[in-house]
Amino acid sequence: MAEYKGMAQPSRASDEDMRKIHIEPVPDEQKPEKAVEYLDYIRKQFRSFVMAMETCTKCGQCAENCHTYLGTRDPNNIPANRAELIRKIYRRYFTLEGRWFGSLVGAEDISLDLIETWYSYFYQCSQCRRCGHVCPFGIDTCEVTFIGRQLLHWLGITPKLHSDVGAAMERVGNHTNMPKPALADTLEFMCEEAYDEFGVEIEMPLDKPADILYVPSSADFLLNPYTLMCAGMFFHYIGASWTIPSAVTEAGNFGFLFDQYYTQRHNIMRLLNAAQELDTKKIVWGECGHGWRAAKMYIPTKADRPVRWDITHLHDEAAHLIRNGELKLDPNKNSRPVTLHDPCNYVRACGLNENMRTCIKASCSNFVEMEPYGYDNFCCGGGSGILFDDPDMYNKRIQLSWKKAEQVRETGVGKNGDGILCAPCSICKAQLYPMVEEHNLGVEVKGLIDLVGKALVWD
Amino acid sequence: MKLLIGQILPYITIIIFVLGVFYRLGRWVGTQIIHNITLSDPWLKTNGQVAVRIGTEAFLFRNFFIFDKALWAGALLMHLSLLNVLGGHVVGFGTLGTQFAFIPGVSEQLSQSLSNDLGTIFGILLFVALAYLLIRRLSITPIKQLNKPSDILWLVFLLLIVGVGDIMRFFHQFHVEYEPVRDYVIALGTFQPVVNMELLSNPVFLVHFTLVNILLILFPFSKLMHLFGMFAERWIVNRTYHEPAPGMPNIDVAAARKAGLGLPSSGGGAESSSEGV
Ligand code: HEM
Ligand code: SF4
Ligand code: SF4
């Protein structure tokens, strides 16, 4: 089903798919009752959620600051209204005012229709936190979306895309279902490519005990090969002892996006086990926005044991070396006009703002900021893995990227058709590859380490 | 009527208000900040920075200023006037308008007329600002799409309270002096009978007073709790954060470059400036 009563919805996992990720779907007639039960359980835990439910004054500031509302003008895509989809129920079942005053204060009885509405609108939100960034109180609607999706997941409603990714992760340790032999082949192939294209001889070790555990996005093996290749070149250039763990060739963690309990924790523990086996001293993360947030900000509170390793991002490390003058970079090797799309999770949740700029300015001779940029940047429209390909949702994705397209156009980097849109996150890349075509932006999408790697001066 | 509104209602109001507020705060305290969801816009490194950030948000409406100047002006005017009006109620009635007399050169008389004028000015500003917010609520598309009946009712209700309050200032037949009010509050506070006080024969005062009681009774169960919610929410998203130090173990870039790592041992290789990437 890609539509429910006029609402676009991602095609959903079958009951069989859900069982693969350990969920027994709740029968439709029990869903409303169970939804309230699960909500009651979860609302007693998360203060971030309770405050979002109880503090909003409906000032409306978040509306024009959410790319989903800007792109669709759908009232339910106003962040405060997205939260209202759950707040109605929260009011009705868990507050005195909701019980006494009902619809006067916006309380509403739970229904299957409402649950289906959740499925539509919590999968249009990309959890980009721009609403939290602009709200006078700091209300983070992303927290509401997390919980909306969690409830749906427990009820047995999860997009097929997400459930497949969850199952693949459990099976082989990455989202793209690549088994170890394929990983090894790809890495070998990349070393050859690095020689052919850049004239350098590098190694890309898999499962070789080493000081640095590098966690790439699995999409980098397939869709963004230069990101992985250039990360390899970077490590080789600095003479690092590094390796990629075949147990987790995945910087992303879709558990963070649809199931913050079992799936997210399971992925984290898998990584920590691998780090121990490979004698790791430090974990360095690859280009993946949500995955970096899930790692940097959530591993400390989700891991089942104390974490022994510092975890930093590849861009943090590259910027650090650039600031110390240890990387010799020639920005003229990247002379095409470049602009930077700030992945939301990097700038609003992980503090990567400055370091990305240190990297890009040192590696490109013609860099232009878009407006707004940094903390204020707008999402690409694909955040939180809403990369659905069924026609209804694909059309939504075009709408959701409207603001991004306008921003890129205004920089002028694509006006001669040879611009570069640097988008250092696998989900941003997957969203933007087709979207720059849909919106005719005249730019090519690339990662950030791609640019750094290309600018390296070897001799 | 006088007994009910003037004597009994205020006690009920205070009890509900206090218990209600504690009930709501208790619900919040019972939950946890489970994960670190600090906003890195940018990271705050010291508690001083946290205080500045939360303070400027709470008292200067920083985010409105950055993202919507019109809303900033209206909201700040409303809240500042409100702060002054509330403050005026306490200090003005408490000191009978002599609150400014401590300033050297300000006589008690001058203070009283200052107090009077300021009260009037902020009373009008508050009304105007509330009206502005109401018009905004009823005319701007996304906000119309957000409205629940209660959102509009609150503004109307506050306009009523303020309007009735202003009437007592503008129409001298309803005018209320500071002293009887102070005496009334003191009597309530010391559990003296107040039914025979002349103040309670002023119908406009009775209306104003009743509405305020209703406001306070509803307060703990309404969106006005954002007064406290504001700080509770900011306390989640604005806190200090310290980055793990960058720098990878056993790295010696200079040595690696000197050894020519990555340079083809056999020489050759493709042009390194190819446009591949
Ligand atoms: C530190 C204390 C307070 C802060 C930081 C604060 C902040 C805010 C903010 C940011 C808004 C949204 C802007 C708007 O819609 O105008 C708002 C709205 C509002 N506030 Fe406050 N507030 C505080 C105290 C109060 C108090 C004590 C009242 C009591 C009556 C109050 C009444 C209102 C009302 C009625 C609205 C809604 C206005 C509308 O519907 O447009 N506020 N407040
Ligand atoms: S900006 Fe914050 S307070 Fe205002 S409507 Fe949005 S969530 Fe509510
Ligand atoms: S997190 Fe982003 S997409 Fe979701 S409601 Fe907030 S601004 Fe909109």
From the CB of A60, is ligand 1 less than 6 Å away? no
In which residue are the tokens 């306390």 written?
A: B235
CA of A8 to the centre of ligand 3 (A): 17
From the CB of B227, is ligand 1 less than 6 Å away? yes
Report strand pairing: A3-4 vs A7-8: antiparallel
Residue type for position B132: Y
Is the pLDDT at B43 greater than 50, yes or no?
A: yes
The residue-averaged pLDDT of A206-220 equals 97
Which residue's CA is the nearest one to ligand 3's atom 3?
A125
Q: What is the reported pLDDT for B196? A: 85
CA of B132 to the centre of ligand 1 (A): 13
User: What is the C-alpha end-to-end distance of chain B, expressed in Å?
Assistant: 84
In which residue are the tokens 């079958």 written?
A: A14
Q: What is the reported pLDDT for A396? A: 95
Share of chain A above pLDDT 70, in %: 100
For residue range A295-328, what is the model confidence (pLDDT) as tens digits? 999 999 999 999 999 999 999 999 999 999 999 9
Number of residues that make up chain A: 459
Pick the atom of ligand 3 nearest to A65's CA.
7
Sort out which chain B residues have CB atoms less than 8 A from A238's CB and list them.
Answer: 248, 251, 253, 256
Q: Which of A61, A135, A282 is best to mutate for the B interface (most B CBs within 10 A)?
A: A61
Which residue's CA is the nearest one to ligand 1's atom 6?
B227
Ligand nearest to the CA of B155: 1
Q: How far is A16 from chain B (nearest CA, A)?
A: 32
Contact A350 B40 (CB under 8 A): yes
Give the CA angle between residues A366, A367, A373 to the nearest 5°.
Answer: 165
Q: What is the reported pLDDT for B270? A: 43
By the CB < 8 Å criterion, does B242 face chain A? no
Q: What is the mean pLDDT of chain A?
A: 97
From the CB of A139, is ligand 3 less than 6 Å away? no
A283 three-state secondary structure: strand
Is the pLDDT at B39 greater than 70, yes or no?
A: yes
Contact A60 B35 (CB under 8 A): no
User: Which has the closest alpha carbon to A163: A10, A3, A8, A18?
Assistant: A18
From the CB of A339, is ligand 3 less than 6 Å away? no
Evaluate whether residue B18 is within a structural domain: no
pLDDT band at A2 (very low <50, low <70, confident <90, very high): low
From the CB of A403, is ligand 3 less than 6 Å away? no
Range of the domain at B146: 2-7+69-228
Say if CB A48 and CB A193 are below 8 A apart: no
Residue A138 tokens, joined: 């700091």
Residue A50 tokens, joined: 């309770």
Q: How far is B201 from chain A (nearest CA, A)?
A: 33
User: Which has the closest alpha carbon to A364: A345, A336, A401, A324?
Assistant: A336
Evaluate whether residue B40 is within a structural domain: no
Q: What is the reported pLDDT for B273? A: 41
Evaluate whether residue B117 is within a structural domain: yes
What letter would DSSP give residue A339?
E
CA of A378 to the centre of ligand 1 (A): 27
For residue range A75-133, what is the model confidence (pLDDT) as tens digits? 999 999 999 999 999 999 999 999 999 999 999 999 999 999 999 999 999 999 999 99
By the CB < 8 Å criterion, does B270 face chain A? yes
Evaluate whether residue B141 is within a structural domain: yes
Which residue's CA is the nearest one to ligand 2's atom 4?
A59
By the CB < 8 Å criterion, does B46 face chain A? no
CATH number of the structural domain spanning residue B135: 1.20.950.20
Evaluate whether residue B243 is within a structural domain: no
From the CB of A128, is ligand 3 less than 6 Å away? yes
Pick the atom of ligand 1 nearest to B57's CA.
5
Give the CA angle between residues B253, B257, B259 to the nearest 5°.
Answer: 120
For residue range B250-274, what is the model confidence (pLDDT) as tens digits? 999 999 999 999 998 754 444 444 4
Sort out which chain B residues have CB atoms less than 8 A from A140's CB and list them.
Answer: 37, 39, 236-237
Q: In Å, what is the CA distance from A406 to each residue of A128, A327, A371, A435, B260?
A: 18, 35, 10, 12, 45
Is the pLDDT at A210 greater than 90, yes or no?
A: yes
The residue-averaged pLDDT of A409-435 equals 97
Evaluate whether residue B26 is within a structural domain: no
Report strand pairing: A282-285 vs A338-340: unpaired
Sort out which chain B residues have CB atoms less than 8 A from A351's CB and list them.
Answer: 40, 42-43, 241, 243
Contact A61 B150 (CB under 8 A): no
For residues B9 and A7, what is the distance between their CA atoms, to the nearest angstrom? 50
Evaluate whether residue B221 is within a structural domain: yes
Contact B262 A333 (CB under 8 A): no
What proportions of chain A, in percent to the nearest 5, are helix, strand and coil?
55, 10, 35
Q: How many domains does chain B have?
A: 1
C-alpha count within 13 angstroms, C-beta hemisphere, residue B31: 24
Pick the atom of ligand 3 nearest to A129's CA.
1
Is the pLDDT at A1 greater than 60, yes or no?
A: no
CA of A286 to the centre of ligand 2 (A): 34
Q: Which of A59, A301, A312 is best to mutate for the B interface (most B CBs within 10 A)?
A: A59
Give the CA angle between residues A318, A283, A449 to the nearest 5°.
Answer: 30
From the CB of A130, is ligand 3 less than 6 Å away? yes
From the CB of A57, is ligand 1 less than 6 Å away? yes
Alpha-helical (H) ranges within B140-271 are 141-146, 149-170, 178-189, 203-218, 226-237, 253-258
Contact B28 A47 (CB under 8 A): yes
Assess whether the previous peptide bond of A372 is cis (omega < 30° from 0).
Answer: yes
Q: Which domains does chain A have, with CATH numbers?
A: 15-157 (1.10.1060), 165-455 (no CATH)
Evaluate whether residue B12 is within a structural domain: no
Is the pLDDT at B244 greater than 50, yes or no?
A: yes
The residue-averaged pLDDT of A330-353 equals 98
Give kind and range of the element (H or E) at residue A395. Answer: helix A391-400
In which residue are the tokens 């947030």 written?
A: A293
The whole-model pTM stands at 0.94
Sort out which chain A residues have CB atoms less than 8 A from B79's CB and list them.
Answer: none
For residues B89 and B102, what is the distance between their CA atoms, to the nearest angstrom? 18
User: What is the C-alpha end-to-end distance of chain A, expressed in Å?
Assistant: 57
Q: What is this model's ipTM? A: 0.93
Q: What is the reported pLDDT for A120? A: 97
As beta bridge partners, residue A368 has: A339
Nearest to A450 among B43, B255, B277 (CB): B277
Residue A383 tokens, joined: 């955040």
Q: State the helix-helix crossing angle for A448-455 and A225-237, rounded to 10 degrees.
A: 50
Tell me the best of A142, A344, A386, A399 to mutate to test the pocket of ligand 3, counting ligand atoms within 8 Å of each CB and taking the most: A142
- b/e map of A366-393 (b: 16 or more CB within 10 Å)? ebbebeebbbbbbbbbbbbbbbbebebb
Q: What is the reported pLDDT for B2? A: 85
By the CB < 8 Å criterion, does B139 face chain A? no
Contact B249 A282 (CB under 8 A): yes
Sort out which chain A residues have CB atoms less than 8 A from B234's CB and list them.
Answer: 137-138
Cβ-based contacts under 8 A for chains A and B: 267
CA of A300 to the centre of ligand 2 (A): 29
Contact B234 A138 (CB under 8 A): yes
By the CB < 8 Å criterion, does B37 face chain A? yes
Q: What is the mean pLDDT of chain B?
A: 92
From the CB of B200, is ligand 1 less than 6 Å away? no
What letter would DSSP give residue A329?
B
Q: What is the dihedral of CA A171, A24, A88, A99, to 10 degrees?
A: -140
For residue range B171-225, what is the model confidence (pLDDT) as tens digits? 888 888 899 999 999 999 999 998 888 899 899 999 999 999 999 999 999 999 9
Residue type for position A409: R
